[in-house]
């Protein structure tokens, strides 16, 4: 899963980025509204954390522009505690949720997990596909109750496929959501990770849809 953090406070930006990366997300960052708008307009994100009080272009304007451009990724806005009007303006502009400053990073992580789950149509923090269970809260995957030892890239791949269970996901889409903007992207590496996942899962669940991509679904009985 790929997240964009748009926050002009350097220390807070770094704190959020590090926490998200530790939780297994790929993270891009911006420090002003213009840069944030450009990234959100041109790159595919699974969620965005957007501060309201940004230089160059304020967060409300950024959000309004994204929605006008039909960008539908979930957006969590950050607001000052005493500015209730910002919360209302943010929600009216198209925000999906908000957190007031100061906040605990754990709350932001929980709200981001919830936004991504809801966007993919999942209500629970656990996503189940046949014998595979993905615990998005702890960033762990289990098969028949036994924890899988996955690399960060393998977990991200499995997580993205399971969030889009039953759908055909192209290699290009996987590359765009598994790597940040500065990574030297090569869709051929996806085949390697899929092969490793298949071996570790030990169940025939990840289907190659020739010419289109991959799909994960529960094995037929």
Q: Tell me how many degrees the CA angle 159-2-59 measures, rounded to the nearest 5.
A: 140
Residues 44 and 14 reside in one and the same domain: yes
Work out the percent of the chain whose per-residue pLDDT is above 90. Answer: 71
pLDDT tens, position by position, 25-35:
999 999 999 99
Task: Select from 81, 103, 120 the last residue of a domain.
Answer: 120
Mean pLDDT of 148-173: 92
Helices (H), 99-215: 105-119, 152-163, 171-178, 188-201
Mean pLDDT of 140-157: 92
- Tokens of residue 204, six digits: 């025939």
- pLDDT greater at residue 184 or residue 109: 109
The answer to whether position 175 is within a domain reads: yes
Tell me: pLDDT of 221 over 70: no
The answer to whether position 52 is within a domain reads: yes
The answer to whether position 92 is within a domain reads: yes
Mean pLDDT of 59-85: 92
Task: Select from 86, 120, 154 the last residue of a domain.
Answer: 120
Q: Which domain holds residue 20?
A: 2-120
The answer to whether position 221 is within a domain reads: no
Tell me: pLDDT of 9 over 80: yes
Q: How far apart are CA 159 and CA 141, in angstroms?
A: 9
Instruction: Report the pLDDT value the prediction gives residue 169, as an integer from 0 to 100.
Output: 94
| Beta bridge pairs of residue 207 | 215
Using a 10 angstrom Cβ sphere, with 0-12 exposed, 13-18 middle and 19 or more buried, the burial of residue 195 is exposed
Q: How far apart are CA 79 and CA 30, in angstroms?
A: 17
Residues 200 and 109 reside in one and the same domain: no
CATH number at residue 208: 1.10.10.10
Residues 6 and 101 reside in one and the same domain: yes
Instruction: Report the pLDDT value the prediction gives residue 203, as an integer from 0 to 100.
Output: 86
Q: How far apart are CA 59 and CA 51, in angstroms?
A: 6
Residues 101 and 144 reside in one and the same domain: no
Task: Select from 92, 120, 148 the last residue of a domain.
Answer: 120
Strand locations in 31-172 (E) = 47-51, 75-80, 97-101, 126-129, 132-135, 140-143, 146-147
Q: How far apart are CA 3 and CA 178, in angstroms?
A: 10
CATH number at residue 111: 3.40.50.2300
Tell me: pLDDT of 128 over 70: yes
Whole-model pTM: value is 0.83
Residues 111 and 137 reside in one and the same domain: no
Instruction: Report the pLDDT value the prediction gives residue 185, as an integer from 0 to 100.
Output: 60
pLDDT tens, position by position, 165-216:
999 999 889 988 888 766 666 667 888 889 999 999 988 899 999 989 999 9
Residues 56 and 134 reside in one and the same domain: no
The number of folded domains in the chain is: 2
Residues 115 and 131 reside in one and the same domain: no
């Amino acid at each position: 899963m790929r997240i964009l953090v748009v926050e002009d406070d350097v220390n807070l930006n770094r704190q959020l980025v590090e926490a998200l990366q530790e939780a297994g997300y790929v993270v891009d960052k911006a420090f002003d509204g213009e840069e944030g708008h450009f990234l959100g307009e041109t790159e595919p994100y699974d969620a965005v954390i957007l501060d309201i009080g940004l230089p160059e272009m304020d967060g409300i304007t950024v959000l309004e522009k994204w929605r006008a451009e039909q960008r539908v990724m979930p957006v969590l806005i950050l607001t000052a505690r005493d500015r209730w009007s910002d919360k209302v303006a943010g929600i009216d502009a198209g925000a999906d949720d908000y957190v007031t400053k100061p906040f605990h990073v754990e709350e932001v992580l929980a709200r981001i997990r919830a936004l991504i789950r809801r966007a993919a149509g999942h209500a629970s923090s656990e996503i189940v596909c046949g014998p595979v269970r993905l615990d998005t809260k702890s960033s762990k995957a289990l098969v028949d109750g036994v924890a899988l030892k996955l690399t960060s890239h393998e977990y991200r791949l499995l997580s993205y496929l399971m969030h889009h269970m039953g759908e055909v996901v192209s290699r290009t889409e996987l590359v765009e959501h598994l790597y940040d903007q500065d990574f030297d992207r090569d869709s051929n590496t996806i085949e390697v990770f899929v092969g490793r996942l298949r071996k570790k899962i030990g169940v025939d669940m990840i289907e190659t849809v020739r010419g289109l991509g991959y799909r994960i679904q529960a094995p037929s009985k």
